[in-house]
């Protein structure tokens, strides 16, 4: 057999071996966060907590806004998240700078899986609202959960750090 024929037969075999060596390992599995929107809201509720020894400021409310908030609460409990969002959007049309309504709207956005919306409403509430107490912790916990849902762990950690700064002891009366 001629020398060229042996060489030509060896080339395909060498090429197959080279290509086999070049195959890359499969990509690592994508870690899927299985936390549901309801579980995220439960984490917000837990972070807010309730402590009778803590200072908590509650503003006076417009009765019309209270009616819309109550309607939103009922709709949310009935599973009508879109209706709850509409009622709260209507309330925000009346009192755009109300941190409580903004937070309730953030809660609904969180339940709807609207992570950016939830963070946006909660950030506005932080900027306008109390810097202490359960409401403050609720704002920051919402921001943290929205960031975690988007896979932004570092940014979520910075929100988590803010939660602890919201706790201020109440006034001791003797």
Q: Evaluate whether 140 touches 162 at the Cβ level (below 8 Å).
A: yes
Q: What pLDDT does 131 receive?
A: 86
- Please write the tens of the pLDDT for every residue from 33-68: 788 998 999 889 888 876 555 555 566 678 899 999
- Comparing CA positions, the residue from 82, 83, 88, 115 lying closest to residue 103 is 88
pLDDT at residue number 52: 53
In terms of phi and psi (left: phi > 0; alpha: psi -120 to 50; beta: otherwise), the region of 60 is beta
**Which sequence spans correspond to the domains of the chain?**
35-164
Q: Tell me, which fold does domain 35-164 have in CATH? A: 1.25.40
Query: Which residues does the chain have with pLDDT short of 70?
Result: 1-32, 50-60, 169-172, 174
């Amino acid at each position: 057999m001629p020398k060229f024929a042996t060489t030509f037969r060896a080339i395909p075999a060498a090429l197959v071996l080279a290509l086999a060596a070049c195959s890359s390992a499969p990509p690592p599995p994508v870690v899927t966060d299985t936390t549901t929107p309801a579980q995220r809201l439960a984490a917000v509720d837990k972070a807010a907590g309730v402590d009778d020894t803590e200072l908590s400021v509650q503003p006076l409310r417009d009765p019309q806004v209270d009616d819309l908030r109550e309607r939103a609460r009922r709709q949310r409990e009935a599973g009508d998240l879109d209706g709850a969002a509409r009622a709260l959007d209507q309330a925000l049309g009346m009192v755009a700078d109300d941190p409580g309504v903004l937070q309730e709207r953030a809660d609904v956005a969180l339940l709807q899986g609207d992570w950016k919306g939830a963070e946006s409403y909660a950030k506005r509430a932080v900027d306008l609202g109390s810097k202490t107490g359960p409401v403050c912790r609720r704002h920051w916990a919402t921001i943290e959960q929205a960031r975690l849902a988007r896979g932004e762990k570092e940014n979520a950690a910075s929100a988590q750090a803010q939660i602890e700064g919201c706790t201020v002891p109440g006034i001791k009366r003797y």
